[in-house]
Structure 1
Amino acid sequence: MSLKLQTIICSTRPGRVGSSIAEWFNTAANEQGGFESELVDLADFNLPVYDEPNHPRMEKYEHGHTKAWSESVAKADAFVFVIPEYNFCPPPSFVNALNYLYNEWNYKPCGFVSYGGVSGGLRSAQMAKQLVTTLKMMPMVEGVMVQMPWEKLDENRKFQAEAVHSHSATAMLEEMVKWTDALKVMR
């Protein structure tokens, strides 16, 4: 049975560059061979600000958008969050999506492909790592950082990865396979 990875586009902002980066990473993850990767777009779930009456740990979801999000997250063994930096932080859409669920995240590794200005979204990824640990996820030390991503798009807005991005992706994915195998026993 192959390991299931979700490459999650975390920005829901119109005109975002994250979808292009996520498409590149998702292809790279499938080519690497350790995972069967699926591209997931938070915008497709249209999650309002958290609106469930029950605590997520109870899994007593009342809304269709929550049930769909739960089903999507539950089927994955690991996650890569393609995450921008907004005011040194992860986007609200990412935080909100995490808060909707609890058990579905537990004992699964996650990695970050961060992007932004000169910092490449590193501050956002560091803050996001603190958040995911409260959901019993294991964030990878390895990651992919993309500085000035708008400068790395071709005329069709397709992300043109550089060698450093590809090497970083490979290192993160190799480590994630180890953690996914190890944590699967705990689920």
Structure 2
Amino acid sequence: MLHKVAIIMGSMRPNNICTRITKWVEKTIESFNEIELSVINLADWKLPFLDEPGIPAAHPYQHEHTKAWSQRVLLEDGFIFITPQYNWGYPASLKNAIDYLYKEWNGKNALIISYGGHGGNKVAAQLKEVLEGGCKMKIVDKMPGIVLSHEIIRDQIRIDLDKHFQPYAQDIQQAIEQLIAALNAKLSGKM
């Protein structure tokens, strides 16, 4: 069975490294033929800051951008969240995109990949709490954190990500294996 999985890019900063990390992750997991990957760049969605008049869990959506976002999320079986760690937390744009919806996230499987000068373990823990506790998603145990050296942060355009990120490839692949196992278990009714 082919599972539809979307990578959600958590950074909307112009010239962000998230775009390059996402491409590297795609390349790192391209051999997993059990998943059909797509990428959701939140910058393409232009979601205003929580402009729905009602609470997502209790009211129908009023705005077309919310209805479109809802339909996009419903298409997927699972998600890979790739997010930077900003000041020990995740970007407001990612929280906003999550908070637009509720039922659409419920029961979906997900994987969190974080990155930052310290690897992103704090952002991964925060995001896991929101996704599991608030959105009722199922997050895999392995949450790879990519440490960005000062060299990468300073000069990210000229950095060879394959070379610098190679030590993280096995963690990413193991996390994808966990995500696929969770998706298979859900499909067979074991979760």
TM-score, normalised on structure 1? Answer: 0.90
Corresponding position of 1:75: 75
Q: Secondary structure at the match of 1:32?
A: coil
Q: Write the distance in 2 (CA, Å) between the matches of 1:128 and 1:105.
A: 13
Q: Is the CA contact 1:29–1:37 (under 8 Å) kept in the aligned structure 2?
A: no
Query: What is the percent sequence identity of the aligned residues?
Result: 30
Q: Write the distance in 2 (CA, Å) between the matches of 1:125 and 1:109.
A: 15
Corresponding position of 2:102: 102
Matches within 5 A, 1:1-187: 1-58=1-58, 60-117=60-117, 119-133=118-132, 134-148=134-148, 151=152, 153=156, 155=158, 159-160=161-162, 162-184=165-187, 185=189
Counterpart residue identity of residue 45, structure 1: W
Counterpart residue identity of residue 151, structure 1: I
How far has the Cα of 1:46 moved from its partner?
0.8
Q: Is the CA contact 2:142–2:174 (under 8 Å) kept in the aligned structure 1?
A: yes
What value does the CA root-mean-square deviation take over the aligned residues?
A: 2.1
Over 3 Å counting, the alpha-carbon distance change for 1:136 and 1:4 in structure 2 is same
Q: Write the distance in 2 (CA, Å) between the matches of 1:70 and 1:49.
A: 16
Over 3 Å counting, the alpha-carbon distance change for 1:186 and 1:69 in structure 2 is farther
How far has the Cα of 1:59 moved from its partner?
6.0
Counterpart residue identity of residue 76, structure 1: E
Q: How many aligned residue pairs are there?
A: 185
Over 3 Å counting, the alpha-carbon distance change for 1:80 and 1:59 in structure 2 is farther
Q: Is the CA contact 1:50–1:96 (under 8 Å) kept in the aligned structure 2?
A: yes
Q: Write the distance in 2 (CA, Å) between the matches of 1:56 and 1:27.
A: 35
Q: Secondary structure at the match of 2:161?
A: coil
Q: Is the CA contact 1:29–1:35 (under 8 Å) kept in the aligned structure 2?
A: no
Structure 1 gap ranges (5+): none
Q: Write the distance in 2 (CA, Å) between the matches of 1:144 and 1:96.
A: 23
Q: Secondary structure at the match of 1:57?
A: coil
Give CA deviations for 1:38-97 in whole Å, capped at 9, x if unaligned: 011011101111111122124621112211211111111111111001110111111111
Q: Secondary structure at the match of 2:82?
A: strand
Give CA deviations for 1:89-113 in whole Å, capped at 9, x if unaligned: 1111111111000111111111111
How far has the Cα of 1:34 moved from its partner?
2.5
Task: State which structure, 1 or 2, has the greater radius of gyration over its C-alpha atoms.
Answer: 2
Q: Secondary structure at the match of 2:23?
A: helix
